[in-house]
Chains A and B, each alone.
Chain A
């Protein structure tokens, strides 16, 4: 699991209260081993895949 593939539904912090991902942000700074239980608990969700630009307009 890669943090960049997930978006925070609830704010994610480290133990000292530093924000790892604010609501709506992607989770690059969230430790990978926490992504599983955060996803299961509904605190993060899978980011929508970016729509590919139509051919010929890239």
Chain B
């Protein structure tokens, strides 16, 4: 199934509960996260002043788009859900991306899209276009693609497809420079705030002079924003190098979208995200609700949960038959 605009940016895609919402041609797709503020300018101020109110909002908008009536696209969704333009009682899961479908590439996800605005733009002497805006409620996540939307399961997913793991140390993320490591208290000092929490795991590279050499280390304490302790006993301190996060301990938001499902005698399809320390042995992290509908989406979250360095997925069909499923899996580390 095509996932990007036919003539638009090849890397852009947008799914809502298993429907492909990207038009064949469009001017722009915008995913915007905003910290809401209130103007607090007062008499006597010489500069305009705003103050954060502590809320964050998100919106996803497709501008100036040509939509058609292909199966599984936006007009098909409107036909399938009478009143789709009105607020929905059942939230719809939104996922999309700007970098195409690359394993480990970034995607955005949100729960939930309760309504969308479909604004027809028509004028004399011009083709008819539309703006499509999604009303996002709740958290907006950025994560990594664990299974490409081009994934097709015609049996339980094992072998090569399942073995396509994502290493968190190689996905785009902030690289933090290290100042030094200390033999007193096993403390690492960074030049900028590291953003780590206890039980995170970091991959340290190019750190010189320490004994033992530092590599994959577990964070045991976070005294300040630019220092953290590790479990490894440092006998001689070192300098320099960088770190990236390998495993994270703040939980996750996992996303599943499936654009086609034929059970062929089976009773359901269970998609699972698996995680690993060594990229060899995996444990199940989260399983989505067994999929039975032709198309759909689901978001599952957990707080204060360790997500290990490597991620992979599996699909297990329950029962017997000849199934087929097109799906996407992504996971955001919180």
Contact = CB atoms under 8 A, between A and B. Distances in A.
A15 B284 CA distance: 11
Contacts of B277: 34, 37
A17 B283 contact: no
Contacts of A37: 277-278
A31 B160 CA distance: 20
Main secondary structure of the interface of A (DSSP, over half): loop
B282 A14 contact: yes
A15 B157 contact: no
B281 interface: yes
B279 A15 contact: yes
Nearest to B281: A34
B278 to A, nearest CB: 6
Q: Is the interface of B mostly helix, strand, loop or mixed?
A: mixed
Interface residues of B, number: 25
A58 B163 CA distance: 48
Contact of B280 (A14, A17, A43): A14
B157 A43 contact: no
Contacts, number: 63
Nearest to B285: A10
Contacts of A20: 281
Given A41-B306, A41-B308, A17 B163 contact: yes
B20 interface: no
Interface string B269-288: 00010101111111111000
B312 A15 contact: yes
Contact of A17 (B158, B279, B306): B158
Nearest to B287: A11
A22 to B, nearest CB: 10
A43 B279 CA distance: 16
A37 to B, nearest CB: 5
A12 B278 CA distance: 13
- Counting chain A CB atoms within 10 Å of each CB, the highest count among B274, B279, B308 belongs to B274
Contact of A38 (B160, B274, B279, B283): B283
Interface string B162-174: 1101000000000
Nearest to A31: B281
Contact of B158 (A12, A16, A38, A41): A16
A15 B165 contact: yes
B159 interface: yes
A45 interface: no
Nearest to B310: A15
Given A34-B277, A34-B278, A37-B277, A16 B163 contact: yes
Given A17-B157, A17-B158, A34-B278, A41 B312 contact: no
B282 A13 contact: yes
B314 interface: yes
Interface string A9-53: 011111111101000000000110110011001010000000000
B158 A18 contact: yes
A2 B221 CA distance: 31
Nearest to A35: B281
Interface of B: 156-163, 165, 272, 274, 276-285, 306, 308, 312, 314
Interface of A: 10-18, 20, 30-31, 33-34, 37-38, 41, 43
The 4 A-B residue pairs with the shortest CB-CB distance, nearest first, are: A17-B162, A17-B158, A34-B281, A43-B283
